[in-house]
Amino acid sequence: MTFDTIVWGPSHGPGAAETTRRRAEGEPRLTKPITAELGGVSPIIIVPGEWTAADLAYHAEHVATMRLQNSGHNCIAGQVVLVSSDWPQRDAFLEALEKAYAAAPQRPVWYPGSAAKLEAAASVHSTAQWFADGTRAIIEVGPGDDATAIEQTEYFAPVLGIVEVAGLGQEFLDAAVAHANDRLVGTLGANVLIDPATEHSLGEDFERTLADLRYGTIAINAWTAFGFLQPALTWGGFPGATLDDVGSGLGVVHNALLLDRVERSVVRGPFRPFPRSSGAIGRPGVFSVLPKPPWFVTSRTGAVVSEGFTRFQMTHDWIGLGRTLLQAFRA
């Protein structure tokens, strides 16, 4: 709404008729170039595989973090979990997700308009499960049910949708990518969680399928917020937006290397934390030294670790970094 008001004019009250005319005739009120980052509904694609109980619990907490960090008031918060209806571990994963979502520390829902968004979710989805004194919801869209509201509304609040897609392996991945591209509003970021054995079995087809994801940032076994945190990477919607159909925005920010015409940035993280990641020692992006990521919403030391890493970027004080890492191990 803010972008449209700046570019075209107000959509209500005095001046609305002039705005309608400008849109119809393709004459924006703003004549200077403009860039914008506008969010969207970000998918979390759960690629089916053979996960251990620890894997299920870890990534349930991972998904809960993607939605609940800052109470969901994030342009890049994950909103729709795409899970296979044919995955034998589907029920176990959703049970772990519900448990993690309910157990996460309660934080105030403070962003202007969030209360109205939660009320709207409650009115549209009568079967939603509510947690934390009614301040966060999980909406599981059943087979044949209308998923339009959860897929076309960026709630910017603690509302997490679960949508089923049929298939296993490459069939599921192809269907999930098509679903995210065609049904979810926005193109800012997409998250993909996949175990190493399944990724290996898919081979180069996995990479080719990811290339079909029309999102400005893709995170594999990580959260797309880490694309935002890396100044060398680009951050913005997928190319193709226009003033009249702006989607997740125009242009990119960051891009410290000043690369031209970047289509997207991709970040990778470890599927398992330490010590279960020990088998991946020496493999960048796969091995982790942390037993629990300090950015998880359940981390006990998240604030002090975040401050420590920020200070290291300014000072390059290695002794200070060592103290920060010790705090990270206490997460």
Domains and CATH numbers, the chain: 1-34 (no CATH), 37-268 (3.40.309.10), 278-331 (no CATH)
Instruction: Tell me, yes or no, if the pTM score tops 0.75.
Output: yes
Q: How many CB atoms lie within 10 A of CB 331?
A: 19
Q: Output the six-digit token pair for 66.
A: 């993607």
Return left, alpha or beta for 93; rule: phi > 0 is left, psi -120 to 50 is alpha, else beta: alpha
Taking Cα atoms as reference points, which of 136, 113, 114 lies closest to residue 63? Answer: 136
pLDDT tens, residue by residue, 216-244: 999 999 999 989 988 899 999 999 999 99
- pLDDT band, very low/low/confident/very high, at 280 (cuts 50, 70, 90): low
Tell me, rounded to whole angstroms, the distance of Cα 301 from its chain centroid: 22
Residue holding tokens 């509510």? 130
Report the pLDDT value the prediction gives residue 292, as an integer from 0 to 100: 86
- The Cβ-side half-sphere exposure at 240, using a 13 Å CA radius, reads 10
Mean pLDDT score of the chain, rounded to an integer? 93
- The Cβ-side half-sphere exposure at 140, using a 13 Å CA radius, reads 14
Report the pLDDT value the prediction gives residue 153, as an integer from 0 to 100: 96
Phi, psi of 280 (to 5 degrees): -110, 20
Residue holding tokens 């029920």? 91
Strands 234-235 and 249-250: unpaired
pLDDT tens, residue by residue, 105-143: 999 999 999 999 999 999 999 899 999 999 999 999 988
pLDDT tens, residue by residue, 23-80: 999 999 999 999 999 999 999 999 999 999 999 999 999 999 999 999 999 999 999 9
Phi, psi of 314 (to 5 degrees): -85, -40
Report the pLDDT value the prediction gives residue 284, as an integer from 0 to 100: 54
Taking Cα atoms as reference points, which of 184, 174, 172, 216 lies closest to residue 79? Answer: 184
pLDDT tens, residue by residue, 289-301: 788 888 899 998 9
Query: Which residue type does 27 have?
Result: E
**Average pLDDT for 262-279:** 89
Express as a percent the part of the chain with pLDDT over 90.
Answer: 82
DSSP conformation class of 80: E
Report the pLDDT value the prediction gives residue 43, as an integer from 0 to 100: 98
Find out whether 238 and 264 touch, Cβ atoms under 8 Å. Answer: yes
Taking Cα atoms as reference points, which of 219, 206, 209 lies closest to residue 267? Answer: 219
Report the pLDDT value the prediction gives residue 295, as an integer from 0 to 100: 86
DSSP conformation class of 135: T
How far apart are alpha carbons 225 and 222 in whole angstroms? 8
Taking Cα atoms as reference points, which of 205, 222, 192, 240 lies closest to residue 295? Answer: 222
pLDDT above 80: residue 91: yes
Least confident piece of the model among 60-64, 102-106, 247-251, 273-277: 273-277
* Angle (deg, nearest 10), helices 204-211 and 169-183: 10
How far apart are alpha carbons 79 and 150 in whole angstroms? 8
- The Cβ-side half-sphere exposure at 205, using a 13 Å CA radius, reads 12
List residues bridging with 159 in a β-sheet.
Answer: 137
Q: Output the six-digit token pair for 222.
A: 């990580």
Report the pLDDT value the prediction gives residue 274, as an integer from 0 to 100: 83
- pLDDT band, very low/low/confident/very high, at 172 (cuts 50, 70, 90): very high
Q: Which residues contact 74 (CB under 8 A, 6 or more apart)?
A: 156, 225
- 43's enclosing H/E stretch is strand 42-46
